[in-house]
Structures are given as C-alpha cells and as structure tokens.
Amino acid sequence: MRKKILVTGADGFIGSHLTEELIRQGYDVRAFVYYNSFNSWGWLDQSPKEIKSQLDVFAGDIRDPYGVKEAMKGCTHVLHLASLIAIPYSYHSPATYVDTNVTGTLNVVQAARELGIEKVVHTSTSEVYGTAQYVPIDEDHPLQGQSPYSASKIGADQMALSFFRSFDTPVAIIRPFNTYGPRQSARAVIPTIISQLANGASTIKLGAISPTRDFNFVKDTVQGFISVMESPKSIGEVINIGSNYEISIGDTAKLIANIMNVDLKIETDEQRIRPEKSEVERLWAENQKAKQLLGWQPAYGGKEGLRRGLEETIEWFTNPKNLSQYKADVYNI
C-alpha cells in the first residue's frame, strides 16, 4: 500500500522543506498547518505549483486532540514537527510550551495508538542535552532542561517513548542539532547574521558569541527524517542528526561575513543574552548511530560542507523577495 504521510508543522521552516521533498519522492502527503484566519499555509504558500497541486492540507491546532486524530485518519505514517521552538519566548510564556510541545505530542501518540499508525517520527532537539558534559554528544548523554523550551521537549520526548514502552506504539525519535537554511526564522542566529548584513549593516547585534553549535543544513535534516521514517530499525530509538562539526557563534558570523565580503563588527545586545545558567555553551553531535542504523550521513558535513550550506542560505536570503519578509532591525523573541 502506498504510504500516506501526515507532516505536522508542515507550514514551518523544516516542515515545509520536508513536505516538498516527500512529494518529490512520490509520497502521498497531508500537510497539517496551523489554523489561522488568513488561510495561510506558512512557507507552503511559496511552494511551486506542482507541489501545491499535490498537497492535502489540513488546518488545525496540535493542542486539539479531536483535530489531530481527524488529521491522522487514513495516514500510515506521522512526522511530528509541530512545536514552539523559540528559547527566549519560553522564558516569557512557558505554559504555552507545555501545551503545544508536551500535550501536542500526547495528542499525536494517543491518536496513533488508537488508529494503528505504522510509525510516528517525533522531533526532538539537541537543546535537551544542555551544555555538553562530554563531546561529541551521543544519544546516551544526560538530559538537562536549561530553558523551559528544552524542558518541554524533554517531556515531549519522554511522552512519545512512554507510548512505545507502554503500548508498543511504533515511535522513533529524531534529534536534529541546529538546523539552518532558507526560510529559517530570524530568531535563529544564522538568519539573524545574514539578514542584518544583507540589509547593509556592517555592525551587527548578537547575543553570546562564545557558545559552540553543530550546524546541520536543512537538506541533511530532511533526509534524516526520511531515513528515520523508512528504516524499521528506528522504532523505539533516539537518533541524533548532526554534522559532527563544532563551531562557535563568533566564528560562524566571521565565516558568513567572509562569504558575503563584508568587514564585520559584532555588538553585544543584552536582550539577546540568555540567563547565565540557561545558556547552552557547547553542542557537538556524535552521528555514528544514524550512520550505522540508517545509513544516513551529512552531505554538508565539516567546515567545507558548512560553507556550502551557508552559501546556499545566503543566496536565498539575499534575494530581495525573500529578504523583504524579514524585519532585520527588530529583535523578535
């Protein structure tokens, strides 16, 4: 039987790229988008006509168990990406993160159990590890809730795994490290840097620049999702998707400025600084499990791969049509 895939959060950054690639690969896709009065499908509004013509769009709210179950009816697989992800906003409104991330995930796995879904791929985040206690970070690394966001994602991950352990619900956990690429929100650091430089600034505003990250280009993340979904070995597993390359925020900014041929100065913006004990100082992915279990590996790995991914990202952001959608001079938590 042909697979029918529900993608929750299909209107977002990673979700829209994933939805488009699934359709290109011949899957039947239902896109769960956030209901709104504008009838906006988020980034899917900008998908090519041949993609949109094949989309089955369901507008709803991941916090609504009835709507979630309705969206999942007739589907064989669920790729669950819908969540609140901005860390600074989680300091402001933590309850909404519990409602969306924990309860939303409960709604998905509960419906999956009742409907007999073949597999649920639940999206985790490298933020659940907190500051690295050892590197590279493998899937056995302790979990640390250093922000309300990361705490909510730990809760969501454990809720999903509890359904696998309690009811044999076929759940797999994908744990992407810091994904970047076209369409990413300017709340994330790479779009923040690019959009400020693309708007003519040579002095840009950033938060802490010493923390390190393992940046994963969105095309690699998308292939990670598809590999986890397709592999029978992923059920009951937590799998890191990362490039296995560590770079500081400051050096990332310098690399972007070099590609864009800009003399860069960085100004610390206090409102972008996380509380001291909440800042995740170091992330570096061990990706051996993904390679061995799934046969997945990053096409944009290492410094050379990061540079190629940044070049593609910069090309997209510097297109005036795309850049005009970003408010580079306004900090959005």
- Give the C-alpha separation, 82 to 98, whole Å: 13
Spatial CA neighbour of 34 closest among 21, 25, 44, 24? 44
The 3-state DSSP class for residue 188 equals coil
Q: Which CATH class is domain 4-180+216-241?
A: alpha beta
Express each pLDDT in 46-84 by its tens digit.
999 999 999 999 999 999 999 999 999 999 999 999 999
Residue-wise pLDDT for 157-214, tens only, equals 999 999 999 999 999 999 999 999 999 998 899 999 999 999 998 898 898 899 999 9
For residue 298, give both structure tokens: 């990053």
From the list 188, 197, 192, the residue with the least C-alpha distance to 265 is: 197
For residue 56, the tally of other CB atoms under 10 A from its CB is 15
Please tell me the pTM assigned to this model: 0.96
pLDDT in tens, 229-274: 999 999 999 999 999 999 999 999 999 999 999 999 998 888 788 8
Q: Where are the domains of the chain?
A: 4-180+216-241
Taking only the tens place, the pLDDT of each residue in 83-124 is 999 999 999 999 999 999 999 999 999 999 999 999 999 999
